[in-house]
Amino acid sequence: MPTVLRDAEWVGPAVLVFFIAAVWAALRGSKPRRRASPARPYGIAGLCSIVLGLWVGSAIHHIPGIALLIAGCGLSLWSALLLLGVTWRNHVRPSATPLVLLALVAAFGARWPKLTGALVLFMMFWAFTVIRTAKAKADRHINELLTRTAILRHVEPASHLVMFGSRVSSEAPI
């Protein structure tokens, strides 16, 4: 076992900080029923897991106690982040995606370097294709909006454009 974990004097204060965060989330998230924060159940679950982890770790066995303690600390951290407005969809997931991909490349690259390299090249090609397609669609939409704006601002060129556009659209194959 590493020395950091063997004589860990920092565990008690760290768990106390997470416990306080869970209490804060449980109390602060308790608003009227219709406006209750989603952080409250996570805070309560974090409190229960921390208390249960301390009891299981001291009375039964230290390994499940540590697992419950870590789960409780994670839940209390998540509840505090929810109270602060951090959500998975808008904040965590977009920033975690490159880190997860890099971790997977590092993990699989050590064991299967050729396969991992081929998959990384394929993912880079696919990402480049998606970006290029998105840029082309955005350019097309911007040009359409600019044309419509020009039509609304100038009547004479607009009538010519409408007449030319109707002639072209009737001749174009469907």
In a domain, 99, yes or no: no
Q: Mark whether 81 and 115 lie in a shared domain.
A: no
Question: What's the total number of domains in the chain?
Answer: 2
Q: Mark whether 76 and 135 lie in a shared domain.
A: no
The pTM of this model reads: 0.50
The pLDDT value given to residue 93: 63
Q: Angle 62-83/11-28 helices, nearest 10 degrees? A: 40
Domain that holds residue 39: 3-86
The pLDDT value given to residue 1: 42
The pLDDT value given to residue 84: 80
Rounded Cα gap, residues 121 and 118, in angstroms: 5
| Below-50 pLDDT ranges, the chain | 1-2, 168-169, 172, 174
In a domain, 98, yes or no: no
In a domain, 93, yes or no: no
Alpha helices in the chain (DSSP H): 3-6, 11-28, 39-59, 62-83, 93-111, 113-153, 155-171
**Closest Cα to residue 104, out of 91, 90, 118, 120?**
120
Choosing from 86, 101, 131, the residue where a domain stops is: 86
Q: Mark whether 74 and 30 lie in a shared domain.
A: yes
In a domain, 143, yes or no: yes
The pLDDT value given to residue 49: 92
